């Protein structure tokens, strides 16, 4: 690529605050905003917006996700495994959106880190299976512990058993303890999230680099397909719905699946002679597979199937209608495996001797570690966070009942460190026998904060800040976020070379022509019509049932390992990710040609 | 099923006895995903229907009776007599109708009347050798049905050239059962052409297909008189991984009568890609098919025919084994041989040094 004139993104300090959002900085911790006295240091770093994980403006409580995730990611690179060239990824919140800046290691320090890395990471690679089993046990036990937490209003009197048992403590102690444990257990599972993920990427990248060397110019897609897991638990919830749909057709219940009114559909099924069998299967599938969200687990308002059965029932109804027409619902696993084997053999056959052995060795390790990269998402983002947010809302409802605010979700307008004082206010007044102050303070404050958040949400995030490095090589950044040198140049307005189109990552192969449907929020998913091309700023893996309906996906953000990319490969759909601006350039109804093999999207007609 | 003609892209199995060596090979290549210029065979049944007429055969026998192969003038005279008989022998209506239809279909595919090549396609050792046949009986740039029919008869008559007659006498081959097929094949009208290799000649990477392409005929690409467009594809994923569009200042174009004109290429064509996306893919597929068919790395000459419809316009001209890289064992240089943590660490550090 020809060197471009030095172009730069704006400084975060030069951005104009949207009207009505003044004072937004106070909603977030001081260490997460760009401080005026650090302008020089902060402007020297390149920051890119992670709208892939955080597409919407944070409410104060929701900062918990980015804080726990980012610091745990960092700790595993920097403190656990001492990854020689990479520390963590620094993060800031600016005008409600999250910005990342990878932190490298000074070249002279890299050498000293090597033996530590080899000992630590080596131990994990050698004992991967046992350690992962240990991981699973602990993660599930943490989830069970969160699930057992139950926030209830303080009783009028301390229970008589506590008096007689000489407990010497009132139930508020348990209330505080539960809140602290809720936060701590969530934190623990985020620690676990990165225990294997970083190493999964390291092994994958090792194979990746080898392939790039042995087969110069090999498409990233080819490497991703070599390690593709076909039985990831991430796809299990959607598979469960398909199985339920097939069963409904088999049991002659087709006509009862009339849409997404769960009460109506389930009532009708219950009244059918074969209904009990289906309902038992439906019940069984829910735990744990309905701990699944159409969001991404980072927002307190993400709706989980388990909490709103209209969602899974609606998807099942769609599937039933298709299954009744004789359509095969389940993913073509055999074809996916055959394709994976064809690709692997194709490259292996081009090598001889030591090179071939190396390739097979690296591929072997990547295949052992790679399933985690896909699977963890269900355990943490879906299951843990689903249970976590349910408990947060339960506490929100408890305090709403006490007049602190109107709705359970209003608790999200407090930071997690403001919730405890509010609880103390409540428990204090309860103890003293007076009225809490919160109900006279929080409703106004929540309203004020709501206005600020809404004002921030009127503005889309700037893609990046400050001067980008000449070349972006940090592999995690490229893999996960699709932030490449080309991508950055495109954001800066460099010509994509396409007259009527966009360039992005060739994330999942194939060419498809079809009508665009631009989706900017999960609420709009219902608008999708069979065969349309999904165009979105970012997709969540849990849009699963939707992937059975569409013919291709185009996103603004996301790399080869982004969720949209992984899901599309599993569903055999073409995908172009990381286009930067598809969701704003393309309008619903436009005729598109999506080439997922070459990473291009062409607008054929308006 | 047609008895008297056989299109090269027919779904039927090509039989050597009916099509002769040349046409069989053209049909096999087309069937294996290596489309040669389109055309059809006039089968040996056609020859039989015309030349195996008992009266004609008796006449031929009579002419050849008592032949002295050493008397060259007499031999030439008798040969000319027989050939004249074959050229004027009436063609049965059903044979004529089928050849007429096959030719009309070919012209329709080409979007109008275009020049064809007419060549003989021998079935056995009836003729001295393939090169002899090739030299004698290849008629290029033939335009119009009447001319084509005339050349088909000339190919039939070629079994009775003086040389063919003496060859059979010397090798004791009987004239009974003698037959020949004829190939009628479109002359290539190269809009773009070039070469494709099923290996990256720069480094011996066998997972690549490298295409050089320029406007017009391929000679300038081969001779290096023009800098061609260059496309590198991943052979397994079949996607373009690198492309260079060059300034292609000149081209050679066929004039339609066998001569070639050299002309300057004007803007914007000279700096535009000489292949569309679909054509790049079609050339790559053709090269891949050739490699699969011959079981070894191939060096393929191809052309995009201006007369043929999209999707059928990529033609294989020649395919031969690549000799440079396929002879030597490729040593892939790797920063980290082996696997496991040592190798991972080594390659991680190597990748840092590269960047």
| CA–CA distance, A313 with B238 (Å, rounded to integer) | 41
Identify which of B206, B341, B345 has the shortest CB distance to residue A350.
B206
Contacts of A354 in chain B (CB under 8 A): 334, 337
| Cβ neighbours of A210 (radius 10 Å) | 27
Of the pLDDT bands very low, low, confident and very high (cuts 50, 70, 90), residue B130 is very low
Query: Quick check: B240 pLDDT over 70?
Result: yes
Q: At what angle are helices A563-571 and A220-227 packed, to 10 degrees?
A: 70
Helix (H) or strand (E) holding B211: strand B208-215
| CA–CA distance, A346 with B288 (Å, rounded to integer) | 12
What pLDDT is attached to residue A107? Answer: 86
Write out pLDDT tens, residues A238-275. 999 999 999 999 999 999 999 889 999 999 999 999 99
Best of A200, A207, A218, A353 to mutate (most B CBs within 10 Å, chain B): A218
Cβ pair B351:A357 closer than 8 A: no
User: Closest Cα partner for A411 from A428, A429, A399?
Assistant: A399
Best of A123, A219, A484 to mutate (most B CBs within 10 Å, chain B): A219
Contacts of B77 (CB under 8 A, 6+ apart): none
Query: Quick check: B215 pLDDT over 80?
Result: yes
Q: Exposure pattern of B326-338 as b/e (b: 16+ CB <10 Å)?
A: beeebebebbbbe
Query: What's the number of CA atoms in the CB half-sphere (13 Å) around residue B157?
Result: 18
Distance of CA A157 to the CA centre of its chain: 44
Contacts of A84 in chain B (CB under 8 A): 345, 348-349, 352
Q: Residues in chain B whose beta carbon is closer than 8 A to a beta carbon of chain A?
A: 200, 203, 205-208, 232, 234-242, 329-345, 347-352, 355
Contacts of A71 (CB under 8 A, 6+ apart): A88
Mean pLDDT, range B244-251, rounded to an integer: 91
Q: Could you say which residues of chain A have pLDDT below 50?
A: 1-5, 496
Question: What ipTM does the predicted assembly reach?
Answer: 0.78
Q: Tokens at residue A432, please?
A: 């003293």
What pLDDT is attached to residue B134? Answer: 35
Write out pLDDT tens, residues A148-201. 999 999 999 999 999 999 999 999 999 999 999 999 999 999 999 999 998 988
Identify which of B236, B242, B331 has the shortest CB distance to residue A346.
B236
Cβ pair B337:A354 closer than 8 A: yes
Q: Which residue of A has its CA nearest to B342?
A: A118
Strand order of the β-sheet with B138-142 is B5-7, B39-42, B180-186, B116-122, B138-142
Secondary structure class of A370 (helix, strand, coil): helix
Name which of A379-388, B170-179, B235-244 the model is least confident about.
B170-179
Cβ pair B338:A357 closer than 8 A: yes
Contacts of B164 (CB under 8 A, 6+ apart): B126, B127, B128, B158
Cβ pair A217:B341 closer than 8 A: no
Secondary structure letter of residue A576 according to DSSP: E
Beta carbons of A451 and A99 less than 8 angstroms apart: no
Cβ pair B341:A598 closer than 8 A: no
Q: Distance, in angstroms, between A366 CA and closest chain B CA?
A: 10
Cβ pair A365:B339 closer than 8 A: yes
Identify which of A209, A362, A597 has the shortest CB distance to residue B351.
A209
Q: Tokens at residue A152, please?
A: 């209830």
Domains of chain B: 5-186 (3.30.1490.20), 190-322 (3.30.470.20)
User: Closest Cα partner for B152 from B253, B16, B23?
Assistant: B23
Identify which of B203, B232, B237 has the shortest CB distance to residue A222.
B237
Secondary structure class of B236 (helix, strand, coil): coil
Contacts of B287 (CB under 8 A, 6+ apart): B196, B197, B198, B209, B211, B298, B300, B302
Domains of chain A: 1-215+396-473 (no CATH), 233-330 (no CATH), 482-605 (3.50.30.10)
What pLDDT is attached to residue B133? Answer: 39
Going by their DSSP bridges, the two strands A97-104 and A47-49 should be labelled as antiparallel
Contacts of B145 (CB under 8 A, 6+ apart): B100, B103, B104
Write out pLDDT tens, residues B53-70. 999 999 999 999 988 888
Q: Which residue of B has its CA nearest to A123?
A: B341
Contacts of B30 (CB under 8 A, 6+ apart): B8, B9, B36
Contacts of B349 in chain A (CB under 8 A): 84-85, 110, 114
Beta carbons of B248 and B267 less than 8 angstroms apart: no
| CA–CA distance, A539 with A556 (Å, rounded to integer) | 9
């Amino acid at each position: 690529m020809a060197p471009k004139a030095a172009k730069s993104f704006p400084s975060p300090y030069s951005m104009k605050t949207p009207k009505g959002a003044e004072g937004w900085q106070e909603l977030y911790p001081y260490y997460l905003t760009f401080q005026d006295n650090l302008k020089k240091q902060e402007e020297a770093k390149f920051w890119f917006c992670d709208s892939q994980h955080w597409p919407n403006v944070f409410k104060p409580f929701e900062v918990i996700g980015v804080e726990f995730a980012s610091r745990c990611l960092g700790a595993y690179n920097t403190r656990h495994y001492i990854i020689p060239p990479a520390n963590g990824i620094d993060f800031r919140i600016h005008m409600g959106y999250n910005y990342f800046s990878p932190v490298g290691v000074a070249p002279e320090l890299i050498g000293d880190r090597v033996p530590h890395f080899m000992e630590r990471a080596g131990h994990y690679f050698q004992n991967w299976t046992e350690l992962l089993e240990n991981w699973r046990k602990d993660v599930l036990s943490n989830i069970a512990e969160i699930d057992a937490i139950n926030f209830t209003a303080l009783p009028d009197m301390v229970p008589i058993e506590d008096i007689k048992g000489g407990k010497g403590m009132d139930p508020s102690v348990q209330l505080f303890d539960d809140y602290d444990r809720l936060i701590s257990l969530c934190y623990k599972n985020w620690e676990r999230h990165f225990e294997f993920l970083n190493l999964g990427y390291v092994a994958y990248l090792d194979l990746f680099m080898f392939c790039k060397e042995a087969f110069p110019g090999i498409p990233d897609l080819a490497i991703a397909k070599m390690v593709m897991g076909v039985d990831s638990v991430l796809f299990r919830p959607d598979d469960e719905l398909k199985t339920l749909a097939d069963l409904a057709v088999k049991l002659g219940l087709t006509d009862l699946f009339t849409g997404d009114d769960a009460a109506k559909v389930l009532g009708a099924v219950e009244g059918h002679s074969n209904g009990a069998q289906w309902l038992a299967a439906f019940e069984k599938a829910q735990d744990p597979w309905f701990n699944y969200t159409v969001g991404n687990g980072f927002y307190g308002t993400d709706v989980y199937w388990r909490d709103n059965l209209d969602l899974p029932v609606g998807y099942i109804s769609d599937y039933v209608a298709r299954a009744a027409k004789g359509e095969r619902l389940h993913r073509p696993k055999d074809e996916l495996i055959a394709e994976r084997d064809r690709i692997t053999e194709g490259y292996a056959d081009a090598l001889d001797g030591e090179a071939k052995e190396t390739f097979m060795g690296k591929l072997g390790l990547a295949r052992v570690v790679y399933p985690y990269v896909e699977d963890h998402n269900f355990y943490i983002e879906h299951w843990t966070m689903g249970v976590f947010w349910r408990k947060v809302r339960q506490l929100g409802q408890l305090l709403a009942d006490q007049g602190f605010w109107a709705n359970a979700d209003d608790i999200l307008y407090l930071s997690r460190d403001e919730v405890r004082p509010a609880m103390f206010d409540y428990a204090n007044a309860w103890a003293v026998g007076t009225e809490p102050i919160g109900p006279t303070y929080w409703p106004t404050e929540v309203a004020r904060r709501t206005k600020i958040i809404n004002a921030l949400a009127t503005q889309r995030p700037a893609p990046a800040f400050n001067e980008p490095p000449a070349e972006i090589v940090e592999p995690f950044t490229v893999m996960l976020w699709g932030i490449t040198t080309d991508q950055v140049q495109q954001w800066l307005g460099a010509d994509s070379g396409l007259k009527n189109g966009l360039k992005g990552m060739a994330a999942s192969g194939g060419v498809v022509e079809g009508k665009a449907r631009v989706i900017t929020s999960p609420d709009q998913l219902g608008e999708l019509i069979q065969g349309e091309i999904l165009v979105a700023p970012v997709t969540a893996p849990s849009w699963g049932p939707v992937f059975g309906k569409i013919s291709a996906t185009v996103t603004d953000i996301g790399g080869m390992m982004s969720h949209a990319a992984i899901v599309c490969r599993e569903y055999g759909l073409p995908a172009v990710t990381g286009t930067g601006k598809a969701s704003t350039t393309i309008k619903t109804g436009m005729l598109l040609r999506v080439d997922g093999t070459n990473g291009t999207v062409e607008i054929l007609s308006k | 099923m047609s008895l008297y003609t056989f299109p090269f892209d027919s779904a039927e199995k090509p039989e050597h006895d009916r099509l002769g060596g040349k046409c069989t090979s053209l049909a096999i290549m087309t069937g294996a995903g290596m489309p040669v210029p389109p055309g059809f065979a006039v089968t040996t049944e056609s020859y039989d229907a015309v030349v195996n007429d008992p009266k004609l055969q008796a006449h031929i026998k009579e002419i050849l009776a008592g032949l002295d192969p050493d008397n060259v003038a007499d031999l030439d005279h008798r040969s000319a007599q027989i050939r004249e008989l074959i050229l004027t022998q009436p063609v049965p209506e059903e044979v004529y109708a089928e050849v007429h239809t096959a030719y009309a279909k070919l012209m329709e595919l080409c979007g109008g009347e275009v020049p064809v090549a007419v060549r003989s396609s021998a079935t056995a050792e009836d003729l001295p050798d393939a090169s002899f046949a090739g030299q004698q009986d290849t008629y290029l740039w033939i335009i119009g049905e009447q001319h084509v029919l005339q050349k088909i008869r000339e190919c039939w008559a070629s079994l009775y050239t003086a040389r063919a007659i003496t060859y059979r006498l010397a090798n004791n081959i009987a004239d009974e059962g003698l037959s020949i097929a004829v190939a009628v094949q479109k002359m290539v009208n190269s809009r773009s052409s070039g070469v494709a290799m099923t290996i990256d000649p720069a480094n011996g990477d066998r997972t690549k297909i490298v295409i050089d392409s320029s406007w017009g005929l391929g000679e300038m690409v081969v001779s290096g008189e023009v800098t061609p467009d260059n496309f590198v594809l991943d052979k397994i994923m079949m996607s373009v991984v690198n492309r260079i569009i060059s300034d292609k200042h000149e081209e050679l174009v066929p004039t339609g009568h066998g001569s070639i004109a050299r002309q300057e290429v004007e803007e914007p064509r000279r700096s535009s890609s000489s292949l569309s996306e679909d054509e790049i893919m079609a050339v790559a597929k053709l090269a891949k098919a050739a490699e699969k068919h011959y079981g070894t790395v191939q060096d393929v000459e191809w052309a995009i025919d201006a007369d043929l419809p999209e999707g059928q316009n990529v033609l294989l001209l020649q395919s031969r084994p690549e000799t440079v890289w396929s002879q030597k064992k490729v040593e892939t240089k790797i920063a980290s041989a082996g696997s496991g943590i040592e190798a991972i660490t080594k390659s991680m550090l190597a990748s840092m040094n590269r960047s």
